[in-house]
Amino acid sequence: MEGLFFLLIIYCLTAIVLFIVGIIQVIIKSTRNEPVKTGLKLIIISVIMVVIGFGACAVLLANS
């Protein structure tokens, strides 16, 4: 169980970092009037990661 908890922490930290980098990219590129497509992609990917991660946690907790 300890290895699973460690992987969950790494997964959550990765999602948080992607979300923060996406927000920063959107802010910087919107102030420069550049396309913000990459920042929006990172935000969408991080939200999908969070949804999948919590779904996996719910399944693991329900089966234990």
pLDDT tens-place string over residues 15-61: 999 999 999 999 999 999 999 999 999 999 999 988 988 888 778 77
pTM of the shown model: 0.81
pLDDT digits (tens, 9 = 90+) for 2-13: 777 788 788 889
Residues 53, 4: contact at Cβ < 8 Å?
A: no
Residue 16 backbone phi and psi in degrees, to 5: -65, -45
Question: 34: domain range?
Answer: 2-63
pLDDT(1) > 70? no
Number of structural domains the chain divides into: 1
